[in-house]
Chain A
Amino acid sequence: MEMGWRWDFTYEILPQMAIATLNTILAAGVGYAIALIVGLFFLLAQRTPSKIFNWVNRELVEFIRSTPLLIQLFFVYFVLPQFGITLSAWVCGMITIGLHFGTYMSEVYRGALEGVSKTQWEACRALNFSTIYTYRRIVLPQAFPIAIPGMGNYLVGIFKDTPLLSTIGVAELFHAATAVGGYNYRYLEPYTLVGIIFLTLSIPAAMWVRKLERDVNISQGKIKK
């Protein structure tokens, strides 16, 4: 077996890897969308007046946050069929990622809502705005910019956690690399390519998030002045 980097092999597997990259992006996108929505539900659960419900919700979030995504994936993928629910690897993966990161997302939302000063609420009360109107026109427009950096960070985070999906057989980038590597018994090029593809996608994304964060900080500074 030839040691060192083989360019011909690299070119040979490149198309396959490119297609798999699209799958990775799709998985990250769908997982992110689910996480955004699940996060809203956790946030709503936090804000209900029922104490027991709050407690259950808090413990559930704590549990999901402090256990590994990998085992959660296995749990959903292997246990649900025992209860007669058979889902494809894709669906299992998306549900698990959505749930796992949904708990993080709810924290982002909560932080953003608490970041809006209490006096804003008092002012709206004084002006006799309804709660819905207050949220829609006063609170959410101010909370959203605060939430943007956190939301962006978790988009990048989800993207970087998609390789875990390969363990339950989702045909994303890392899965493709393992398959190609196993078939040809060469792991150097596939895994290195995966690393390079991840870098070229996530560094610009992270830079963009950082720019957003800076913009938000600047605009908030203006609010304070």
Chain B
Amino acid sequence: MPGFYKSKGITLTYFEFLNEHGITLLLGTVTTVKVLVCSMILYVIISMIFGLMRLSKNSIIQGTATVYIEFFRGTSLLVQLFWAYYVLPFFGISLEAFTAGVVALGLNFGAYGAEIVRAGILAVPKGQWEAAHSLNFTPAKRIKRIIIPQIFPIILPPAANLTVELLKATALVALVTVVDLTFEAKQINSITWLSAQCFGTALLIYYIMARFALVPFLRWLEVLAARKVGKEKA
């Protein structure tokens, strides 16, 4: 450990470290990306369904959505993950670690996303509904051509924040034995005890993923959505 302080030693050790364990960390990163993409798809679908259910006039449908949202927003993600992985087998439902992780992430973030979707739909001016109605658009066409294109520019900025939170939250699946970046970092740490290198590299990889891949992608979506309704965005 004292070698750590030597100015030359630190770069040398770090390159050696990357040489030895870089591939493992990258493989972990691939799993993290897989978890992220799967749970992203799941959470987007869930938030749309439950966001719409929240606005239903039927009190049973609305109540179900409210209970779902309150439940998943009221408890900790880690508790939900462990519940999905360790407790569900008690009820005869054994999920693989990856599936349990994705399902828990999707359900948790779906609850937050549903609120965003609900707020987005409510933010579309009432006049737009009325205008579409008075122009005799069919209900399907009204939603598809008038309302949905206007919802996206409203919900995408908060949804982008939520998605970055999702990337950070994927780290938790390591705790239910999914072999992702966090898991690999922990593993390497327990073998080599080069904690600064392990966790420092992991932090950097998460940062690069968020800052230079996920956020630009989400900004691009925002620009796309804004352009679609004729609001140019710089």
Contact A191 B86 (CB under 8 A): yes
Q: Of the candidates A3, A79, A174, A181, which one forms a contact with B79 in the assembled complex, judged by CB atoms under 8 Å apart?
A: A174
Contact B90 A199 (CB under 8 A): no
Stretch binding the partner chain, chosen from B57-65, B143-151, B168-176: B168-176
Q: Of the candidates B82, B169, B207, B215, which one forms a contact with A191 in the assembled complex, judged by CB atoms under 8 Å apart?
A: B82
B196: A residues at CB distance < 8 A: 75, 79, 82
A68: B residues at CB distance < 8 A: 168-172, 182, 206
User: Chain A's interface: helix, strand, loop or mixed, by majority?
Assistant: helix
A163 touching B78 in the complex, CB below 8 Å, given contacts A71-B185, A74-B199? yes
Q: Please list 29 pairs of residues, one from A and one from B, whose beta carbons are closer than 8 Å in the complex, sorted by A's number.
A: A3-B90, A65-B164, A66-B206, A67-B168, A68-B171, A71-B182, A71-B199, A71-B203, A71-B206, A74-B195, A75-B195, A75-B196, A75-B200, A78-B189, A78-B195, A79-B200, A160-B77, A161-B76, A163-B79, A164-B78, A174-B79, A181-B86, A187-B90, A188-B87, A191-B86, A192-B87, A198-B74, A202-B74, A203-B70
Q: How far is the CA of A69 from the CA of B206 in the complex (A)?
A: 11
**CB under 8 Å from chain B, chain A span 38-87:** 62-63, 65-72, 74-75, 78-79, 82-83
Contact A66 B90 (CB under 8 A): no
Interface flag for A33 (CB, 8 Å):
no
A82 touching B206 in the complex, CB below 8 Å, given contacts A67-B168, A163-B78? no
Binding site for B on A (CB under 8 A): 3-4, 62-63, 65-72, 74-75, 78-79, 82-83, 160-164, 166-167, 174, 178, 181, 187-188, 191-192, 194-195, 198-199, 202-203, 206
Supply 5 further A-B pairs (C-beta < 8 A) apart from A68-B169, A74-B195, A188-B90: A63-B203, A68-B172, A71-B171, A195-B75, A203-B70
B70: A residues at CB distance < 8 A: 203
B200 to chain A, nearest CB (A): 7
Per-position 1/0 for B191-219, Cβ under 8 A of A: 00001100110110011001100010000
Q: Of the candidates B73, B77, B207, which one forms a contact with A66 in the assembled complex, judged by CB atoms under 8 Å apart?
A: B207
User: Chain B's interface: helix, strand, loop or mixed, by majority?
Assistant: helix
Q: How far is the CA of A191 from the CA of B86 in the complex (A)?
A: 9
Per-position 1/0 for B72-94, Cβ under 8 A of A: 01111111101100110010000
Q: How far is the CA of A160 from the CA of B71 in the complex (A)?
A: 12
